Structure 1
Amino acid sequence: MIHTYNVSGMSCDGCRTKVEKTLNAIDEVHAVVSLDPAIATITMENHVPTEKLQEALTAVGKYTIEMSHFTDSSAKIKKEPMEKSIGNEHHQHTGEEMPNSSTEYYCPMHCEGDKVYDKAGDCPVCGMHLEKVSESEKKPAEKPCCSSKKESDKKDVSSTAIAPGKYYCPMHCEEDKVYEKAGDCPVCGMDLVKAPELTVEKPLYTCPMHPEVIQDAPGSCPICGMDLVPMKPVDSEENKTYLDLLHKMKIALLFTVPIFIIAMSEMIPNNPLLQIMDMKIWNWVQFALSLPVVFYAAWMFFVRAWKSILTWNLNMFTLIGIGSGVAFLFSLFALFFPNVFPAEFKTESGTVHLYFEATTVILTLVLLGQLLEARAHSQTSGAIKELMKLAPTEATLVENGKETVISIHDIKKGNLLRVKPGEKIPVDGKISEGESTIDESMISGEPIPLDKKKDDAVIAGTINGNKSFVMVAEKIGSETLLSQIVQMVNDASRSRAPIQKLADKISKYFVPIVVAVSVITFFVWAKFGPEGDALIYGFINAVAVLIIACPCALGLATPMSVMVGVGKGAQSGVLIKNAEALENMNKVDVLITDKTGTITEGKPSVEKVFSTNNQEDDLLQSIASLNQYSEHPLAQAVVNFAKTKKLSLIEVKDFESVTGKGVTGTVENKNVALGNKKLMEEVKASVSEEIENKIIAEQKLGKTVSYISVEKTVIGYVTITDAIKATSVAAIKELMSQGIEVIMLTGDNKNTAKAVADELQLTSFIAGCLPEDKLKEIKRLQAEGKIVAMAGDGINDAPALAQADIGIAMGTGTDVAIESAKITLVKGDLQGIVKAKKLSHEVMKNINQNLFFAFFYNALGIPIAAGVLYPFFGILLSPMIAALAMSFSSVSVIANALRLRGLKL
């Protein structure tokens, strides 16, 4: 059994540790205590009275513990008339109100809400021991306040899931812990990310002339009579975060670049800057320019570093904060007190070498990384937003013969809704009156619109053709298929564990080691250094250790390779969203690919026209002329095919479209019909056994076949197919040769899927897949330890693209698929996956090389900076050499990263 208790009296993490340790010392108790909010979650095999817990805590401090039980003091506590087994007695509740002064008991699990009992015993639902309702628990409990926490109002551990509007750490350091306000993760220091809203907001309307008029439905202004217009949406929070970081990045660059130029000019023979001013003055200029960078643009990094030290959750920000902070403080001290330093540490001009450029460059690079992170998170939630856009905000309600425009939030099950030509279908339901052609490609991923008639189902977010119909609302709100897809995309994107950055892993060991070496250096020099200057030498060399370890090259190692690699990919039509995508792509061993629009062109086209009298062009001219009056996509495919053959269209009389069957008309005084077998039966056209066998053979290949009859005799047929892209075969063959298993998942029928799989020489395919089926298949493969890439182009692919370790979208597909994916192939060509795989491999190899360069100079420089060569050779690492080493490591990293520009994909 699990109980939750409020704990008061804790003011720091030490208090929390003491309370947790004391509770865990009690037999059969396992306690987890949090400081903010101050609660204890206790798991116990047998019920332990609260009094016993309180007794244990009183012995170690002024702590109080009580069962977490909240009731509304304005509400009356009632006991319903139910027979409950309490202890060994049967008690009949009367349902009468119990006075608050009497002794009452409740279930700590609140199995039946706030129901209370007038005797002690066990809960009849869960069997837990009933707790006594204290006088304090009959009032709204106040949340304990921890005086040492200034941001205590940010966290909300009562939530066990990432609810829309809440904030969470993208690294999931504390699993599903959420926060009420934006801020930094207390564990890793990353910016908290806001979980997107999963419901369409109810639109508000205002008058363009009188903005004070705001309504939740369209209409006219009560003041001037003008039509109300939708209010413009405000910028999203993710966009505000990105813009704020972008502003800080511009400030950092504006001041960092001049500092870098001034500092590096010292390495130029006959420094031209010295002809303008003395280096002492230039040092003051560097100091002035560094202030906006340190105390405005990048101040948040020092705050995060300080938090990481307080909590001992050492991370990249610890490394950045210590390195850049010490470099800045050292430079500040050297600027104000240059005479304190020995001559060995001064330049020819008598000034101490400063590290303002190291400070600002490091901070600017880290700020760039944060900017890219903010952009990535904004684009991730953008997939949800794109899906939300599919749902219309309004619908036309048909009631008592009148049509009224209402918000989709006001739709109730059973409402009759009018859907006009070109409109989006508001909710799931079925047609009750009329017929039309519905484009469901955004849901199904299949390009061919479907003919719909009375009693056929329609789906929210799909687009009506050129006819009007009335539908019955059957599923609304979160019940619609579109809402379920939105939820799947959200769940999949939140469940994916981010890659732990290599720099963070290294920093956990690197930071304490460097700090320890620095401290040891100080004490050794203070003890054995030159008499009179021992403390100065100790301080300078201790600082030198920290400066030489400052991760300037480390900050460049990954961003430089990623930026160059991403740029190279863009030139080749491969758009990569972030570094995580590059790393995952290099590890992929299974590729899941959709068929339509991914392997195939994604649009219907005529494969061939067959005629029994070998007059295919004449027959094509007749059916194209017939189809010129139809808006159906299959008809358009026939017309386009005729145009490619430069056939002219002729006049048609008595044209008629037969819903769900085909078209008929009179062409050159002959009755012509084009459609399925049901249409042939309707026009009473005869079909020879030879043609019937040919058509069946085509259908077994999964192709769409339309009969062509002239004067009630079928004399041919037209085969319409979704052609396989010319590059798909070679691309899949190349991927399989690299050891990647390729599996095709499609919503098409088995015949079509098998035909495509055979042509591609694929051994694995699954037909008839719904969006959730694709999602399940990816999860199954991931459970087997596979690294899965998913390539798709439709909305139906969005959940799978989000769940996959690496989602790959066709640039020719929907915005939602592109937003859900980590890699987008602009040309919609599977060869792009081959390029992405090669690019990923080369970039990751390049990053590993950069990390070697970054740490090689540190590993070599730290012992020298500590003074290990001084007893033997009298050599100390001067600041100039330290700066040169850092610069050389950075140059090595940049030069190595730029090699990627010559990569041939």
Structure 2
Amino acid sequence: MLTGNCATKRTTVIEKVAEIKTDVVHTTDTELGLSGKEHVVLSISGMTCTGCETKLSRTLKTLPSVTKLKTSLVLSRAEFVLDVGLQSVDGVIRHLERTTEFKCERITNRGSSLDLVCAGYAEEVSKGDWPSGVIEIRAVDKKTVRVDFDAEVVGARDLVQNGWPHPMELAPLSVDPTLDAGARHVRHVGYMTLLSIVLTIPVLVLSWAPLPNKEQKEIRFATVSLVLATLVQVIVAGPFYPKALKALIFSRVIEMDLLIVLSTTAAYVFSVVAFGYLVTHQPLSTGQFFETSTLLVTLIMVGRFIAALARQKAVESISIRSLQTSSTTLVLANGDEADIDTRLFQYGDVFKVSPECRIPTDGTVLSGASEIDESMLTGESRPVVKSKGSQVIAGSINRSGVLTVKLTRIPGDNTISTIASMVDEAKLTKPKIQAIADQVATYFVPVVVSLTIIVFCIWLAIGITVQKKSGSEATIQSITYAITVLIVSCPCAIGLAVPMVIVVATGVASEKGVVFRSADAIEIAWKTSDVVFDKTGTLTQGKLSVAESESLNPSVGTKALLLGLVKDSKHPVSVAVTTHLKSQGVSATAISTPKNVVGKGVEGAFVGRTLRAGNSTWLGLTDHPSVQPVLSRGYTAFCFAINGELAAVFGLQDALREDALTTVAKLQERNIAVHVLSGDDDGAVRAVTARLSIPSANVRSRCTPAEKQAYIKGLLSTIDTRGSKKKQSQPIVMFCGDGTNDAVALAQASIGVHMSGGTDVAKSAADIVLMRPSLAGILVAMAVSRKSMHRIAFNFGWSFVYNLFAILLAAGAFVHARIPPEFAGLGELVSVLPVVAAGILLKWVKI
């Protein structure tokens, strides 16, 4: 990252993220509000496997009020657009909880949010009068309310201190709401697992231990085992029954819970029947096996607890919101200082940052100088020098000096929360390969049930005809094999194969300054065949400077008219000319209705004269005697015409990005074709591409947005035959740009990459956002994609191999080896942990 004076040569990350927030979130919310629709995010507690996600998705899709649905098993989350004219959010939550047995909680996405402890009952506060600026109040528990408010209308401290009939206090800091449901689920599963273990151990002791007088006390021991096994079946395994039945009835999903219900119930019911025979002094030859049903449930719970804990730790480990500090030093108006909770920040605040402390939120330095470590957000390892006027980013670390900073964005709306929202957006999207996993998982359980019936019938026939056993003995043997097959097979590994990797991969990429906005980009980036660059602001730094200028008619106030025309334009060329003219002391003439013409320039009018400023091709001045020398020297020509006559010409130059040469070279080493499409003059474009050794056949200058789109369409329509095997395939085209005129090309390409410092429109069309001004982010994106797909391939392979051999072992296909039914519950643990580990290990893979 650039430091010192060079730091001014880039748009800061904080400015970039602010633009993303405006474009992606606020505009969408406005549109939804106008249409009577609302964007809803629900935190779901109780999801354990891919069947749960299928059940959740199908249940929500049955509601006509729900559209644009996205769900995530790993994040325990559902996101959708709700037509509030048809159904309320509370109505959706009640329907979900009734039909799925999940617990649902809405995550706020409306303004800022605070949890407050009230003197009275929370329900009474939520129904009372709301202070100005409050959007919504919801009861969290009996004493706590969650208040959503507009921070531009009322500040957080003002909201807590004023406007309430009774005193309110800030509630203790809670965990990230997006992680809270997962944490609660892990705790609940942990408690139920512990209870199951406590109840199961005595059953195992009574069954397996060489106890004295065991035969004489058999009925007494069996009675104790019956009581304990019943408690396990009712309390621990009991919740599986309504979940399985409701999934079958309401969502038409046969999920893993149904397998658990069938197998544990079979083992328990048979043991109860055997106990009845024992009490009547007609014991069955096989006896009871309460230890089978209890150990089965316990091992399933242990597997689910460890898998849930591993998933939760994986999500927490890449949670960007965890970079948010909880307290800071507020500088009061009189100069005094006070330590406050960062949730109480409000616009206009000034805060102090001591050495080795995190920046609490985005702001502008008022005084002091220091070096800031921004690596956790941008991936840039070198500290950045900050002084008066510099922007600082939430979550970065102040290394040396003391800084006094004026807040520019409150914690709930700063860089950390915005990047986290973009990363979460990617986690909720599903790559095309996920459809394969979902399809397999959908048919998995019915297939296993069918196999179970077949195994039961085969062993029943073998027991009677081959092994010459009695009917009851053969039935019992068949049941044990069937139970084992039901439990040992596990679709969870298949369901987690893709999302577990996607969740970790998006976090790993964001730590290196690359934000994937869709999972599709992760899936295909490693297969990129062509990379197309814009020039200005992408291959070059985008900070143009005027190298030479000529005013053909100074007497008519040419420079003043030109400054008035271009001073409000944000295009890099206009900015460079504006800076140059202002440095000469030129005062702008007021121009009526100046208008940007995308890909061409700016036009306006003054006292009946038509003013135009832009590239020479648009103005038809390419062959003008004053323009030709500028173009021949490889400068970007910026022309100003009054009524079609050239009034001034400027030659601008730009510097290559530091890593442009190495990035292009590495792409070419990988047999990836590099192209350049630019709206700039031909001489300037050729000068840059010659330095980068890009073939002239892959270079186009003076391109309009439509021409860029057409060029990319042409690349996509060809067949890629590169590579050692000359295998034909559909090309994957990555376009990298930063300007408004690049938005169409970004959307047209297979993968659109937005460079740090660009415009809102470009960001909204991009699939990948580079958080630091470095082209190396493209290589990082490809590397993350390649490693992720390798992990996904491993996960699929492991899931197939495990289930194949586990089912064969459970079914008794091998003469001298089988899985005892009481240990079949370990199947979920054995199958899921490698999948979770494969995802988590991405964090330590060298990218």
TM-score range, shorter chain: 0.3 to 0.5
Structure with more helix by fraction: 2
TM-score by length of structure 2 reads 0.47
For the pair shown, the structure with the greater C-alpha radius of gyration is 1
